[in-house]
Amino acid sequence: MQKLALLKGDVKHYDWGGVSFIPALLQVENPQMKPFAEYWMGVHPAANCTLELNDGREVLLRDYIRMNPDALLGTAVNAAFGQMPYLLKVLDVKDMLSIQVHPSKAQAALDFEAENQKGTPLNAPDRNYKDANHKPELMVALSGFYLLHGFKPEKQLLQTLEAVPELHVFIPVFKTEGYKGLYKMAMELPQEEVNELLQPLINRIIPLYLQEKLDKSSGDFWAARAAQIFIQPGSIDRGIFSIYFFNIVHLKTGEAIFQDAGVPHAYLEGYNVEIMASSDNVLRGGLTSKHIDTVELLKHTKCEATHPQVIPARGDKKEKVYPAPVPDFELHSYDLKTGDELVLEPATAELFLLTDGEAELSADDTRIVLKAGSIAAAGFPGAVIKILAGAPSRIFRATVPL
């Protein structure tokens, strides 16, 4: 079995994506200005990710690992997961994504089977659970990056509700029924009442947004942007409430954040590298035209104060590790100068992603040059992988904590 191979990921053209960042990474033309939202690398059924072998064949990464899972995953990872347990992505968030929550592993297995028993097709637009796995996520900012992350602490949230006249209606509910009552009210309000509450707010903030008088640290900025993107005639998106309920987090390049099951979140703007358990289970709570199941959303949402924990990269100038409290994945990054060398010995299947520069990877008789256009490779146990930087480079390494 080949121990190192060039990897070709799978582009997702979701409508919120940008048109230039990922095409530039992949060195592909985009004359039609299609949105390139995500670049997937992994074995998830929705990721048609291929290895280019030395003999000229292309084979799906998941099929290649299935040929000899003990050898290619390592005995421990194969016993624990049965396949590569993580999914690696690059994202270009031009327009904000839907507010979403992911289920726990135990609950995902139960709810996935329940939908199977109902006979709901996997590709049905009203299907909530695409697989039986959880989807904890860790993202590293490749630019300044904005996101919503969990409910504001109580004092801060109450100040927000008091400062925005249109949200005063939520104050007594929050004081008596807490976060759960607040979110349930916002998600279950009849659409006519949502419109009545939010229309005056939108009328007030959109002129300020258009005059560039709002700051990105303000809920008004993102609410005005959401109003322009998501409002349909006669139906204002109730996700705008959550922009005020949730923490607005600004990550600097190189900073990371972890999002566990039940933490409501939404990406607002920027580029990132994201690693997660190999799953596509998403329950949505607004800022989307996709299916929203309020009952399922409320069942899985952690309605509690969240104090965002921005993760600084830990390590030296060359290698950094981004810790995550799950067994499914671990992410490293390497900032290399021209001529720097690394020697790595994978204990399980690993992915290498180049986001800047140029680097040569070699193992046995295989030699790969990663640069713009060919940005990823896969390495397997038993290999001694040597990395030589041909220019100042940044490489991310996805693996499993062992």
- Of the candidates 367, 361, 354, the residue with the CA atom closest to the CA atom of residue 397: 354
Angstrom distance (rounded) from CA 232 to CA 166: 20
- Of the candidates 332, 337, 345, the residue with the CA atom closest to the CA atom of residue 398: 332
Structure tokens at 4: 């190192």
3-state secondary structure of 297: helix
Structure tokens at 286: 């607004």
For CA atoms 223, 250, 185, 157, the dihedral sign is: negative
Look-up of token digits 């707010």: 201
Catalytic annotation, pick one of 225, 238, 284, 397: 284
Angstrom distance (rounded) from CA 259 to CA 99: 13
Angstrom distance (rounded) from CA 107 to CA 103: 6
Angstrom distance (rounded) from CA 41 to CA 87: 6
Classify burial at 59, counting beta carbons within 10 Å of its beta carbon; exposed 0-12, middle 13-18, buried 19 or more.
Answer: middle
Structure tokens at 310: 């921005």
Strands 58-60, 256-259: pairing is unpaired
Q: Which ranges constitute the DSSP H helices of 82-170?
A: 105-118, 154-163
Classify burial at 132, counting beta carbons within 10 Å of its beta carbon; exposed 0-12, middle 13-18, buried 19 or more.
Answer: middle
Q: Is 394 a catalytic residue?
A: no
Strands 319-322, 314-315: pairing is antiparallel
94's CB contacts (< 8 A; 6+ apart) are 16, 17, 18, 19, 35, 269
The answer to whether 154 touches 252, Cβ cutoff 8 Å, is no
DSSP 8-state code for residue 33: -
Instruction: List active site positions.
Output: 284
